[in-house]
Structure 1
């Protein structure tokens, strides 16, 4: 019934049963709170789904703020049953402020009951005096009466059962909730990214799928996803019970019973829970039960597993749901019969949805949250860094970089490209236990030991390159006692090779493995370095480092360590690497390309020019410049520099940057993500110039980030660099400097901002002149070249660029 109809009916009943209600100022309300133990359950009696089904509205009548009567108003001309009476009295007895009288009415028949004694009061009407007498004769509600009231309501009103279960789940999640910097807690309310697979899960449930598994590696955000699911589905129509399979490894019914006992103050048995649950899930009920199983694993007790299987069978009608999170190893154990390729009940009935790295929408949403909540932002270009697609890494960086002292309008930036410093920060994540560090250091030892085997086996070499994968055999041979712990930790996954029997361990925390490879490579490179010539040392350095995850960062870190112990080796390597420029190599016809994807495995490509329609190209010798790009942010001065010299003490460093930034090749470590998650970027192949990255993509080359850092540290020296670039019309160098400085034109340091603006204007002028000259170079007649050149300059492209990017009028 609508609100107006309800008000009219209440008014008619009150005139009949309480003739003096106007004089004593009786108020009424249609929402109130039941108290069951420590739980307060709000009810909106007039409009809840429960009461629409029952055809009853519950109204509290008050005098001077005191509850005096609970009115249960049934639909007109519907008989009053004994169940209506029992349930009405039970509601009244569980109100936080118990009313003296319970009135059951259908508009024509009015039946009064003493709430305390449950005895019927034979009368046609009540007055204030009768109410006072009932209150005077009242006594405390006995424990057994309280149990009867709770039992009656829980068996007849599933919403109350749902509300208590949902409050219990809320408390469980609260225990897992912490501030952004408390990385021991998987849930942070201030950093909740709406994961796209949540909608996929809900859609699958709505499509009558009753069992869904969310597969994800350790620290991928599985618990947070369950929290988001609960937050989205938490309502009086839904029962949502959360269970961490690592935490409470005993009967689900017993856990519910214990929790009810603790929170309601009454003894509840396993069978009562089973009875309540089954009665709440009766056929035709609108209520839906969701069991959330976190960290589902094959080691849980037989009791819990039996109950889960029982619930899977019960829920197989498509109305009630189980959602579990699981890592890849445990999914294999749970979904398949041991030593056979047969699926278990769980494997047969589960829909598996993979929780992967953040997609574009989720990444940009995370960046918005960082900006709004923590005054932090990852700079443009960061969306190409695989590291920033991991929620665990972003949260860790927020905890390190957030600055509560910033005032309105201020914010801090996180650089778009990880470097040596950032790799060190990532490995100090509090989320990683000492055991995880120990296991990853073992994998690093194994990885370095398999260097020769990778050279002999192309399948292993391709699979291990930039992933840090190792064979299972070597880990078992060196650390067999730790193998089971490694697999169960879910920080690595197993992949099987196609024909040669190899099985590998594919690490899911590559930043840790990379960090533990640095001292090993430094030690190996320094040993006997004097017995090798410079080319041999460079080849050995490349051989040790190129396959490691974050190879460019690891290489730079190794060189920095070598500079402290073997300065001559460091100097020799730097100078030799500057001579090894990256270049494009044509893929000849009938060449065989071998790739490896974590999900797809090995991929063979037999290249044919006529098949692919163009000439294939590969970038060769990328490694030296990639490593040097990661060294470039650290200005290298000449300690023997003479003050009277015309050269800057950073002359070598300027030459160093000039060499790398002049390359026509895009210099970036290869993207080792799954083929499904690789990010394309907008670029242009400019004849005679090289590959040009669109400015809107931000900073995605480490050398560009290095130029920006050096401009902040040694701006006057960097001015010398771009002046030299202008003299030689070095477009690649000048464009990279432009990309680096464009983001500094509005920086808070006004001196740096002015210097950056000056360069941006200079580049706009250079660009206009360069383009005018470029378009005319193929004209044979010098006069025509001059005419085209001058006509293009008259377009004032530089002024238009100034207006667009510098807000010039």
Structure 2
């Protein structure tokens, strides 16, 4: 390898003078013009290019490390010590390591303090003795060095990695970057954990860094599956890459290897430094006690609490290692909860040493960072996305981005694409188009069957029911009802399933790592059930579909896609099922005293409470009731909302049936009119409803304030319908106005406001005119709101 010239600016005058003086002292018989030097040079460890800046001392005794040439051949590495320092027996070891790592290797290492000079042969490390240190002697030395066996490169790397922080920090940066690059693909390549140009800044990262800066040696980064723990580790690596106080080595342990084995593999793979597990541990110990920067091990994918991994974490976080070795371990909350305690329920060594940082769905401060990440990819979320719970999950946002990016192909860089503020059935269709491997689809078809079985089991522990209702988690025992052990193991080894122990029940559970693909296969199962059940009893089919959707994550979207897909079969659209769903109207009721409720509350987790009266509840904490005086009414509960949520998504597509005269009738137009007239927000998340700005209707009920944008599936489908055909839209709006429904007009108002902002000039002009001339006047009359500021100037 040819050594590359990297010096870009003049060095300090006094340092240059010392170097020239040392060269004259070391090589008095060589012509001065024949020797040149470099203060900056580089060499390679495997795939990693390590840059050496010799002007930056690596210890209190050092002055500079310089590479010398005679003519065009490397002659020596010069270790220049401070003039006040006497030469020590071990001086020259770093220079030998540099020389052995260079290709071609200079035959000499010269150590000098400007008064005394020592010569070492690179390939032996022995002192070089020559009667005359003239040109002939150096030529003979170079000839013999070229014929000698190559120096022990492993020893050179070991020396530099253990003693020179500038070297090992660069090496760690290269190895970490290479590890993450192997796990990075395009945003559309959702098989890869990381997407290029898709990193969301999260608060947990700042919390972790604060702990590390305050000398915390062990941080457990915990959270549910796919919540964004790997995102935090990736951000940690990027933030520490540009500073000199520490370097982060990213390690993925999902292969089942121990932590030390993963470190050894990373060092060998990316640095060509073949080390054993014991040697890797020794290196960590060297770095941990050195008076230098921190080495942070970012350990990802820890999905087991086996004894080997547990002992390693205990070992590496113990006092056997110095304060400069720190660990950030990402793991599921269930695993974290098990390794911080002993069987006797007291704190384990890990529990005593670790701080625990929870990674949760994006909060209100983090969500703007997600919005900016999408904008960096020319994707703009429409107004209302802030209130969409699904969009608080990074995997959902990446799937939405992957779905949308194809529409930007061939467009200029100034073109941005508006993204709907809520999920719809396009997510299912994207998975259909994205995954084509037959064997994988067959396997996930079985996983989908297991998910249906799992969600139907009402005997499960309440915490497990809540967990599986918001994440695609399935008990291992349920999976084994439809998969063989071999099939299940293959899915885990390929990374499609991730095993864990459920915290509340201690049962083995598997989390699905490709939720969109599973949702697609569940839709196929639901479609088959709809078609078979509706032949005999459409109402029974509708009830079964509603129950299934209410128990599944993304259940309303999945069920809607199943209905739409069923309409493409020879049997046609299951109209009886849809009519049953339509006639099952949601109801807003006050909770009855004595009724017990359970559910998941964002920021708190699983809760269970009993209503005592209008303003008092009993909250069950570890089984014991605690009486709470709320001071305000408990609120109202929305029942039977799932049927209309399913139909809300169905209405986003064109659905036609033949009437008795054989004419095609647009079914979704009627459904839109009926569902959009609901006199209360059609949202399943009760906490979210309470957070939304809203306006009371004169005759009871309420509507979402237009200022928040589109937050209901029915309003989003209304937007999609009104964009399809101006003639149909004009006729439908005229029909809607005859309904005299304040709730319908309020939703129509929100949808038209979004269309008025679009770049299509015909659509935007029509929407503005319709708002100004028809909808706003009628809405003001219906809601009698001129003094309530429900409509802003822009709307009018």
Q: What TM-score, normalized to structure 1?
A: 0.77
Q: CA deviation at 1:542?
A: 4.3
Q: CA deviation at 1:116?
A: 6.7
Gaps of 5+ in 2: 1-9, 616-628
Equivalent residue for 2:187? 180
1:220-619 matches, within 5 Å, as: 220-234=227-241, 238=246, 240-247=248-255, 249=257, 252=260, 272-282=279-289, 285-298=291-304, 302=308, 306-314=311-319, 318-331=323-336, 334-337=339-342, 341-373=345-377, 375-403=378-406, 404-426=409-431, 435=443, 438-448=446-456, 450=457, 463=466, 467=470, 475=478, 489-490=497-498, 494=502, 496=504, 518=523, 542-543=546-547, 545-557=549-561, 559-560=563-564, 570-575=574-579, 577-587=581-591, 590-597=593-600, 600-609=605-614, 611-615=629-633, 616-619=635-638
Deviates more, 1:559-568 or 1:397-406: 559-568
In structure 2, how many angstroms separate the alpha carbons of the residues matched to 1:68 and 1:593?
Answer: 84
Q: Is the 8 A contact 1:469 1:505 kept in 2?
A: no
In structure 1, how many angstroms separate the alpha carbons of the residues matched to 2:550 and 2:93?
Answer: 77
Q: Is the 8 A contact 1:734 1:763 kept in 2?
A: no
Q: CA deviation at 1:416?
A: 2.0
1:614-653 matches, within 5 Å, as: 614-615=632-633, 616-637=635-656, 639-640=658-659, 653=668
Equivalent residue for 1:781? none
Q: Which SS does the other structure have where 2:237 is aligned? A: helix
Q: 1:155 to 1:741 in 2, by over 3 A?
A: closer
Q: CA deviation at 1:191?
A: 1.7
In structure 1, how many angstroms separate the alpha carbons of the residues matched to 2:98 and 2:492?
Answer: 53
In structure 2, how many angstroms separate the alpha carbons of the residues matched to 1:524 and 1:38?
Answer: 55
Q: CA deviation at 1:573?
A: 4.9
In structure 1, how many angstroms separate the alpha carbons of the residues matched to 2:280 and 2:512?
Answer: 41
Q: 1:140 to 1:238 in 2, by over 3 A?
A: farther
Equivalent residue for 1:45? 54
In structure 2, how many angstroms separate the alpha carbons of the residues matched to 1:474 and 1:114?
Answer: 66
Q: Which SS does the other structure have where 1:684 is aligned? A: strand
Q: Is the 8 A contact 2:61 2:85 kept in 1?
A: no
Q: Is the 8 A contact 1:593 1:607 kept in 2?
A: no
Q: CA deviation at 1:444?
A: 0.6
Superimposed CA distance per residue, residues 363-411 of structure 1 (whole angstroms, 9 cap, x where no aligned partner): 43333333323x3333332333333333233333333332332223223
Q: CA deviation at 1:43?
A: 1.3
In structure 2, how many angstroms separate the alpha carbons of the residues matched to 1:247 and 1:746?
Answer: 49
In structure 1, how many angstroms separate the alpha carbons of the residues matched to 2:271 and 2:575?
Answer: 74
Q: CA deviation at 1:654?
A: 3.6
Confirm or deny that 1:685 pairs with 2:696. Answer: yes
Q: 1:769 to 1:329 in 2, by over 3 A?
A: closer
Q: Which SS does the other structure have where 2:95 is aligned? A: helix
Confirm or deny that 1:105 pairs with 2:112. Answer: yes
Q: 1:657 to 1:129 in 2, by over 3 A?
A: same
Q: Is the 8 A contact 1:24 1:63 kept in 2?
A: no
Q: 1:378 to 1:604 in 2, by over 3 A?
A: same
Q: Is the 8 A contact 1:111 1:121 kept in 2?
A: no
Q: CA RMSD in A?
A: 4.9
In structure 2, how many angstroms separate the alpha carbons of the residues matched to 1:262 and 1:465?
Answer: 39
Q: Is the 8 A contact 2:534 2:574 kept in 1?
A: no
Superimposed CA distance per residue, residues 241-294 of structure 1 (whole angstroms, 9 cap, x where no aligned partner): 4443343636836x6667666777787566555544433333x62243333433
Superimposed CA distance per residue, residues 175-202 of structure 1 (whole angstroms, 9 cap, x where no aligned partner): 3233333333223332222232122222
Q: CA deviation at 1:702?
A: 1.4
Q: Is the 8 A contact 1:213 1:351 kept in 2?
A: yes
Gaps of 5+ in 1: 778-791
In structure 1, how many angstroms separate the alpha carbons of the residues matched to 2:447 and 2:587?
Answer: 38
Q: 1:667 to 1:426 in 2, by over 3 A?
A: farther
Confirm or deny that 1:663 pairs with 2:663. Answer: no
Q: Which SS does the other structure have where 2:755 is aligned? A: coil
Superimposed CA distance per residue, residues 444-467 of structure 1 (whole angstroms, 9 cap, x where no aligned partner): 12433x46x69xx9x699848955
The partner residue of 2:753 within 742, 751, 755 is 742
Q: CA deviation at 1:604?
A: 0.6
Q: 1:686 to 1:64 in 2, by over 3 A?
A: farther
Q: Is the 8 A contact 2:446 2:483 kept in 1?
A: no
In structure 1, how many angstroms separate the alpha carbons of the residues matched to 2:520 and 2:511?
Answer: 13
Q: 1:437 to 1:231 in 2, by over 3 A?
A: farther
In structure 2, how many angstroms separate the alpha carbons of the residues matched to 1:229 and 1:381?
Answer: 30
Equivalent residue for 2:730? 719
Q: Which SS does the other structure have where 1:43 is aligned? A: strand
Equivalent residue for 1:171? 178
Confirm or deny that 1:54 pairs with 2:69. Answer: no
Superimposed CA distance per residue, residues 336-370 of structure 1 (whole angstroms, 9 cap, x where no aligned partner): 556x5355433443333333323344443333333
Q: Which SS does the other structure have where 2:91 is aligned? A: helix
Q: 1:426 to 1:214 in 2, by over 3 A?
A: farther
Q: Which SS does the other structure have where 2:184 is aligned? A: coil
In structure 2, how many angstroms separate the alpha carbons of the residues matched to 1:587 and 1:703?
Answer: 26
In structure 2, how many angstroms separate the alpha carbons of the residues matched to 1:776 and 1:34?
Answer: 75
Q: 1:160 to 1:428 in 2, by over 3 A?
A: same
Q: CA deviation at 1:418?
A: 1.9
Aligned residues: 758
Q: 1:196 to 1:128 in 2, by over 3 A?
A: farther
Confirm or deny that 1:704 pairs with 2:715. Answer: yes
Q: What TM-score, normalized to structure 2?
A: 0.78
In structure 1, how many angstroms separate the alpha carbons of the residues matched to 2:220 and 2:565?
Answer: 45
Larger-gyration structure (1/2): 1
Higher helix fraction (1 or 2): 1
In structure 1, how many angstroms separate the alpha carbons of the residues matched to 2:82 and 2:351?
Answer: 49
Q: Which SS does the other structure have where 1:139 is aligned? A: helix
Q: 1:491 to 1:633 in 2, by over 3 A?
A: farther
In structure 2, how many angstroms separate the alpha carbons of the residues matched to 1:758 and 1:91?
Answer: 76
Q: 1:415 to 1:202 in 2, by over 3 A?
A: same
Q: 1:591 to 1:511 in 2, by over 3 A?
A: farther
Q: 1:505 to 1:295 in 2, by over 3 A?
A: closer
The partner residue of 2:705 within 683, 686, 694 is 694
